[in-house]
Chain A
Amino acid sequence: DTGVSQDPRHKITKRGQNVTFRCDPISEHNRLYWYRQTLGQGPEFLTYFQNEAQLEKSRLLSDRFSAERPKGSFSTLEIQRTEQGDSAMYLCASTPGGDTQYFGPGTRLTVL
């Protein structure tokens, strides 16, 4: 039984570059969430998928952010034209229903 996995675990990029993160949820979990966690804060909701449909996006998710879940399995989160303020831990979570969310290890992004 594998948990939620995320790749890469760490990403260092220069300001203005594009980055993409991947999340593989627990098998058969139809709901997938992305959160962002900055230093000293709790995670903040970014977006949510039920199967392949993106059903909700936070106002935190600017136009530079896009997320997909093309076949209702793995998901990608892309940030275009990264800014220093995008530096954070990006967490993915999945759940089989509106219940307990299981988190991945996160991708730590550093924008120089």
Chain B
Amino acid sequence: AQTVTQSQPEMSVQEAETVTLSCTYDTSESDYYLFWYKQPPSRQMILVIRQEAYKQQNATENRFSVNFQKAAKSFSLKISDSQLGDAAMYFCAYSPYQGGSEKLVFGKGTKLTVNP
């Protein structure tokens, strides 16, 4: 069974600084998706960034980028120029590429605090 591990229950960063959230996963599949979702307090989960495993190039979305290391099964999220609105729970998630339900398997999350 696939598993996702987020080893940092909590992280904090100063506004305008850079922070990296860690995620490792375990799978025997060669093709899959990896996601970072953000869940602000009392608000719904929204997609931050997505990576297809067959793509070697790391995904980037504005201030958010990932470091995808397929052999190491590592998928970290870097947030640059942190803003107060980035404060939230961040969940790393895995999904198989095709042929099934593509259900998401989530880690336990990392709570990010942004200090002014």
A residues sitting closer than 8 Å to B (CB atoms) are 3, 31, 33, 35, 40-45, 48, 55-56, 91, 93, 95, 98-106
Q: Determine the chain A residues whose CB is within 8 A of the CB of B37 once the complex forms.
A: 103
Q: Determine the chain A residues whose CB is within 8 A of the CB of B55 once the complex forms.
A: none
Q: Determine the chain B residues whose CB is within 8 A of the CB of A101 once the complex forms.
A: 104
Q: Determine the chain B residues whose CB is within 8 A of the CB of A56 once the complex forms.
A: 100-101, 103
- Looking at the complex, which one of A42, A93, A104 makes contact with B109 (CB distance below 8 Å)? A42
Q: How far is the CA of A40 from the CA of B105 in the complex (A)?
A: 15
* B35 x A91 contact (CB < 8 A): no
Q: Determine the chain A residues whose CB is within 8 A of the CB of B33 once the complex forms.
A: 99
| Most B CB within 10 A of own CB, among A35, A43, A48, A102 | A43
User: Which residues of B, 82-96, contact A by the 8 Å Cβ criterion?
Assistant: 91, 93, 95
Q: A42-B107, A44-B106, A100-B50 are in contact. List 6 more A-B contacts (CB 8 A).
A: A43-B91, A43-B106, A56-B103, A93-B104, A98-B95, A99-B33
Q: How far is the CA of A31 from the CA of B106 in the complex (A)?
A: 19
* A98 x B97 contact (CB < 8 A): yes
Are A42 and B108 CB-contacts (below 8 A) given A91-B45, A103-B45, A103-B46? Answer: yes
Q: Determine the chain A residues whose CB is within 8 A of the CB of B98 once the complex forms.
A: 98
Q: How far is the CA of A23 from the CA of B105 in the complex (A)?
A: 21
Q: Determine the chain B residues whose CB is within 8 A of the CB of A44 once the complex forms.
A: 106
The smallest C-beta distance from A25 to any residue of chain B, in angstroms, reads 14
Are A40 and B108 CB-contacts (below 8 A) given A48-B101, A48-B103? Answer: yes
* A100 x B47 contact (CB < 8 A): yes
Q: Counting CB contacts under 8 A, is B44 at the interface?
A: yes
Q: How far is the CA of A41 from the CA of B91 in the complex (A)?
A: 10
Q: How far is the CA of A45 from the CA of B106 in the complex (A)?
A: 9
Q: Mark B65-93, 1 if CB is under 8 A from A, else 0.
A: 00000000000000000000000000101
The smallest C-beta distance from A94 to any residue of chain B, in angstroms, reads 12
- When C-beta atoms are compared, the residue in chain A nearest to B4 turns out to be A42
The smallest C-beta distance from A53 to any residue of chain B, in angstroms, reads 11
- When C-beta atoms are compared, the residue in chain A nearest to B45 turns out to be A103
Q: Determine the chain A residues whose CB is within 8 A of the CB of B44 once the complex forms.
A: 3, 103-106
